[in-house]
């Protein structure tokens, strides 16, 4: 009888242990499924001057890959296309979507993240800095990528950047980031996400005008007008004076409402033209 009782007692203990483990696992799985589970993806994109958005693969694209998508025109803006998806069964609130550039120094835990003003795109991109995502809902954001990359480069001379998507989730202490394996590696001299492509002077002029006009809140179509008249001036005179640049920029913005003073655009244009001329001579 003692032997039978001992065996029964051991068997009951094993069953109780197995049930306890099964219950603990179920509670963990239930917690994971019912909580907010975020997925971040970042893709390169090109926003053309006529309003089309060309989106590349997550791993980045080659020059020929962009050409197969369709013509991107003389003037275009390179953007980061960030998708934030809620895969859980509970609604979550996200904010401060942007780009993550890793640690500023190897000995610090602080990560360098920058969030700019999202670029609006009708029917696709959100411009809200804070969003509530229902279960299985997602939001897409567009960011003009080179203004953020150039800001992150300050103080990191000679260092390559690892660019990933980043978002802050309500109730979580740490920011969520996209896959490191699919992040973009940007070296010091790089000025385009398209492999083998170097930013042209026409693209530089257009992007300067586009940034200023967008910040002013007016229509971006005038960026193409400004870029065209400045290019015509540079064909006649590769080193225009401040007054000459101001005159043609004012002509390009003549019918724009609200009218934007050209001084800031002219200042950045002169710096870009001088830098381009110096690089050509080198």
Q: Nearest Cα to 183, choosing from 201, 167, 165, 170?
A: 165
The rounded distance, in Å, linking the Cα atoms of 148 and 129 is 16
Across residues 99-112, what is the average pLDDT?
Answer: 82
SS3 per residue for 129-166: CEEEECCCCEEEEEEEHHHHHHHHHCCCCCCCEEEEEE
Is residue 188 classed as helix, strand or coil in its secondary structure? Answer: coil
Q: Which two tokens stand for residue 65?
A: 């890959």
Domains of the chain by residue range: 1-34, 38-186, 201-281
133-165 confidence digits (pLDDT tens): 999 899 999 999 999 999 998 877 778 899 999
CB under 8 Å, gap of 24 or more: what pairs does 261-265 form? 264/212, 265/208, 265/209, 265/212, 265/226
The rounded distance, in Å, linking the Cα atoms of 16 and 280 is 78
Element (DSSP H or E) covering residue 176: strand 176-177
Across residues 245-274, what is the average pLDDT?
Answer: 87
CATH of the domain spanning 38-186, picked from 3.40.190, 2.60.40, 3.60.90, 2.60.120 = 2.60.120
E-state strands within 18-129: 38-48, 53-55, 76-86, 92-103, 111-114
Contacts of 98 (CB under 8 A, 6+ apart): 113, 114, 115, 116, 143, 148, 165, 166, 167
208 contacts 144 by C-beta, under 8 angstroms = no
Q: Which two tokens stand for residue 272?
A: 């870009």
User: Does the pLDDT of residue 175 top 80, yes or no?
Assistant: yes
13-32 confidence digits (pLDDT tens): 777 777 888 877 877 665 55
Q: Nearest Cα to 179, choosing from 282, 39, 46?
A: 39
39-69 confidence digits (pLDDT tens): 999 999 988 887 788 888 876 766 566 666 6
């Amino acid at each position: 009888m003692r032997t039978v009782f001992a065996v029964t007692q051991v068997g009951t203990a094993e069953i109780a242990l197995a049930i306890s483990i099964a219950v603990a696992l179920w509670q963990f799985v239930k917690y994971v499924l019912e909580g907010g589970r975020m997925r971040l993806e970042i893709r390169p994109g090109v926003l053309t001057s006529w309003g089309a958005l060309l989106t590349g693969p997550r791993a980045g694209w080659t020059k020929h890959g962009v050409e197969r998508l369709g013509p991107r025109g003389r003037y275009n803006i390179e953007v980061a296309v960030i998708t934030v998806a809620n895969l859980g069964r509970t609604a979550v609130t996200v904010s401060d979507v942007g780009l993550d550039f890793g640690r500023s120094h190897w000995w610090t835990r602080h990560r360098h993240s920058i969030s700019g003003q999202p670029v609006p795109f009708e029917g696709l991109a959100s411009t809200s800095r804070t969003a509530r995502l229902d279960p299985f809902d997602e939001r897409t954001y567009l960011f003009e990528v080179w203004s953020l990359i150039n800001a992150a480069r300050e103080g990191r001379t000679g260092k390559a950047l690892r660019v990933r998507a980043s978002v802050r989730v309500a109730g979580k202490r740490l920011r969520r980031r996209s896959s490191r394996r699919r992040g973009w590696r940007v070296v010091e001299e790089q000025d385009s996400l398209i492999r083998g492509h170097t930013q042209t002077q026409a693209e530089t002029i257009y992007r300067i005008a586009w940034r200023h006009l967008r910040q002013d809140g007016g229509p971006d179509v005038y960026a193409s007008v400004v870029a065209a008249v400045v290019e015509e001036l540079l064909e006649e005179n590769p080193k225009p004076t401040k007054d000459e640049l101001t005159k043609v920029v004012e002509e390009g913005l003549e019918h724009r409402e609200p009218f934007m003073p050209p001084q800031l655009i002219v200042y950045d244009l002169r710096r870009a033209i001088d830098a381009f001329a110096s690089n050509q001579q080198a």
